[in-house]
């Protein structure tokens, strides 16, 4: 939680989603609002190097439960985004999936002295 607290939004929500779900990067890039329902993320696609595909393995398909603290973060993120019902959960300003690892996550963790955790 110290790492999440050190990050600006939306990086904090993206980082928390990765930490609390165990999803791969491509699966997170492929997350859509229409796949988030009933307290679960339904993994239906993956986006790797700009290509949308099925998830890496058969076992990757399906529903991933979302813990309550993460659900609150995702709902706050949804409101910040204008309450969309469809499209990428972590979209950049151009509407495409957001890649914040090198732009926001790593610099913020370095600044907070948490990069080696």
Token pair of 85 as six digits: 């019902």
Mean of the pLDDT values across residues 69-82?
96
User: Residues 116, 45: contact at Cβ < 8 Å?
Assistant: no
Q: With respect to residue 116, please indicate whether it lies within any of the assigned structural domains.
A: no
Q: How confident is the model at residue 95 (pLDDT cuts 50, 70, 90)?
A: low
pLDDT at 13 over 80: yes
Residue 102 has pLDDT above 80, yes or no: no
How far is residue 101's CA from residue 50's CA, in Å, rounded to a whole number?
A: 16
The better pLDDT of the pair 94, 38 is held by: 38
Q: What is the DSSP letter of 104?
A: I
Q: Taking Cα atoms as reference points, which of 25, 38, 116 lies closest to residue 17?
A: 25
Report yes or no on 102 lying in a domain.
Answer: yes
The CATH number of whichever domain residue 16 belongs to comes to: 1.10.443.10
In a domain, 117, yes or no: no
Query: Which domain range does residue 52 map to?
Result: 2-111
Query: Binning pLDDT at 50, 70 and 90, where does residue 98 land?
Result: low
Predicted confidence at residue 113, as pLDDT, reads 81
| Number of folded domains that form the chain | 1
Residue 79 lies in a domain: yes
Evaluate if residue 96 carries a pLDDT over 70: no
**Reported confidence tier of residue 78, pLDDT bands at 50, 70, 90:** very high
* Cβ atoms of residues 60 and 24 within 8 Å: yes
């Amino acid at each position: 939680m110290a790492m999440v607290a050190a990050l600006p939004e939306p990086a904090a929500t993206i980082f928390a989603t990765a930490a609390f779900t165990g999803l791969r990067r491509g699966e997170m890039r492929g997350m859509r609002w229409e796949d988030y329902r009933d307290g679960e993320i339904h993994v239906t696609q993956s986006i790797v190097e700009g290509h949308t595909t099925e998830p890496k393995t058969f076992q990757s398909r399906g529903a991933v439960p979302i813990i309550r603290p993460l659900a609150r973060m995702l709902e706050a993120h949804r409101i910040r985004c204008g309450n969309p019902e469809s499209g990428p959960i972590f979209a950049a300003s151009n509407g495409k999936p957001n890649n914040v690892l090198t732009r926001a996550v790593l610099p913020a963790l370095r600044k907070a002295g948490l990069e080696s955790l």
